[in-house]
Chain A
Amino acid sequence: MQMNRADFPFLGFGVGLRRPHYAHIIDARPRIDWFEVISENFMVPGGRPLQVLEAVRANYPIVLHGVSLSIGSTDPLNRGYLRELRDLARRFEPAWISDHLCWTGVGGRNLHDLLPLPYTGETVRHVAARIREVQDFLGRRILIENVSSYLQFTDSNLTEWQFLAAVADEADCAILLDVNNIFVSAFNHGFDAHTYIDSVPVGRVAQFHLAGHSDHGTHLLDTHDHPIRGEVWALYERAVRRFGNVAALIEWDDNIPEFDVLAAAADRARAIHSSVERGANSHAARS
């Protein structure tokens, strides 16, 4: 069945669920639309992580966001991993499941990093076939996320956005568009971030990511340890104009500030979204 973006509800503006905020979220129930959960942190036999997730899930929508699916690897798909992911999804009923368009290991070993792929037709077919297999196994359509990258392969004969669109189309999956990752990779590889945003198929994007990065002079690193930069907010505004009502999520994984700082970033995303929506409505009313 061809993807319909309505399959992915507009959850509003959320933040990543991180350990320093567990007690605050459970006890104070802060005003936030939803939480994104790193799947692997909760693929454990028992204990506090699952208790926390139960308590959070009782009050908020969640989505599961993985980092180890390794959809681009040449290793066979890890069935044990998929079973655990499916069990977690059955227990906590996330709005959706996402992971990254990358490979994280080979030969049965894990690099615990998100490595880019050569952007070729052959890779599109390889990855798309695996995404379809995962979707069949999980019984649901997944989202794949564009990663920040620090190298490009000489073999690539597609742009990154062409590759992303081709994989999503051939796998019939949705896209988690990470706006900061576009900015980081655009700087690192010298492409135009606007062209990227303007080229991604509108009907496939079901979630945005927003995050901070660090500047190392010769390259940017997607470190999720700084506030979101103005240029990334501007890109987000462009993305909202193009893609419309798409849920947005603030990621912050290191030097994690007070929850209110993340909530304020989510509010800023909401304000941009509202402003774009108002502009679109007044334009429609005039014409």
Chain B
Amino acid sequence: MLLALKPLQELLYRLITAPGGVSEGLAEERARSRGDLDALIRGDARLSAVDHLDIYANMYFYRLLDILKEDYPATLAVVGPDNFHNLATGYLLVNRPHHPSLLYAGAHLPDFLQTHPLRAAFAFLPDLARLERAETDVFVAPDAAALDETAMRAVAPERWAAFPLRTHPAVQTLDLKWQVGGVVRAVQDGAQWHAPGHAAVTVLVWRMHGRTYLRDLDAFERAALRAARDGAPFANICEHAAQALPSIDAPARIASMLARWLADGLIVAA
């Protein structure tokens, strides 16, 4: 063989993922005396060796671009298709897919946006992408039997204080600097999105009956859910919540909050 299988696959990988296309990648390989594509791939009357490999290079990029568009529809709506195309190009240069599943191909986009020039025009982009990614992660998070009202009623009142609770694996709370939930919802509803307010907000993302939902949390509920994240007795959860918002009528709020958690399937027995 002109090239053993491993160096052949490595060369094709470099050429297919070359940012400027196969020709540009090949020029770089030639400069390092490594690339002679005509000796490896058959050209024909219709297509040269480079043309043949370019088919794969185009499919590589556009397949991943489609996946990123699917995973980040609100980010796409905000920056527009041309900016998103360039964003994906840059992202894939430094975040080559490793995982066998395409589900994880876009996992690092929120981090990538932290230092991206698009932030100059859309400062809220990293938060927006983070929220969209959280929806994806929550959608496929592990299953667990959520507690419901019947299950909680079965717990004897004297055991409530020590009863350990934990948030369901398909629950995330995100501390964001921008109120981007409205942008996500508008795009999902096919409505016009509006620039989000610049104010700290905690967003709850959860899954119920196979669908993901999101809503903003106040300091009381945020503290309670954070306490429940790693598992805690109910009394501790209540204590954390009351400390976070001392002015509130804690017992009444805890009752309504717990009822909502149970209805939304947010907690499991720890």
Find the B residue at minimum CB distance from A190.
Answer: B44
Q: A46-B141, A106-B10, A219-B46 are in contact. Are A154 and B101 (CB under 8 A)?
A: no
* B56 and A126 form a contact (CB under 8 A): no
Number of inter-chain CB pairs below 8 Å: 131
Residues on B with beta carbons closer than 8 Å to the beta carbon of A49: 140
Complex Cα–Cα for A152 and B39 (A) = 11
Q: Residues 1-43 of chain B: 1 if any A CB is under 8 Å from the residue's CB, otherwise 0? A: 1110110111011001100000000000000000000011110
Task: Report if B251 contacts A (CB, 8 A).
Answer: no
- Residue from B17, B55, B141, B210 in contact with A111 in the complex, judged by beta carbons closer than 8 Å: B17
Task: Report if B164 contacts A (CB, 8 A).
Answer: no
Residues on B with beta carbons closer than 8 Å to the beta carbon of A151: 41-42, 49, 52-53, 55-56
Stretch at the interface among B59-67, B116-124, B223-231: B59-67
* A47 and B39 form a contact (CB under 8 A): no
Complex Cα–Cα for A113 and B102 (A) = 11
CB distance from B74 to the nearest CB of A (A): 19
Interface size class of B (residues with CB under 8 A): 35 or more
* B63 and A112 form a contact (CB under 8 A): yes
Stretch at the interface among B76-84, B91-99, B154-162, B174-182: B91-99
Residues on A with beta carbons closer than 8 Å to the beta carbon of B2: 154-155
Stretch at the interface among A114-122, A230-238, A243-251, A264-272: A114-122
* A111 and B60 form a contact (CB under 8 A): yes
CB distance from B5 to the nearest CB of A (A): 5
Residues on B with beta carbons closer than 8 Å to the beta carbon of A105: 13
Residues on A with beta carbons closer than 8 Å to the beta carbon of B9: 73-74, 103, 106, 115
Complex A-B: 24 CB contacts under 8 Å: A45-B143, A45-B169, A46-B143, A47-B143, A47-B170, A52-B210, A103-B9, A106-B6, A106-B9, A108-B98, A110-B99, A111-B16, A111-B60, A112-B63, A113-B16, A113-B63, A115-B12, A126-B5, A151-B41, A151-B52, A152-B42, A154-B2, A155-B1, A221-B55
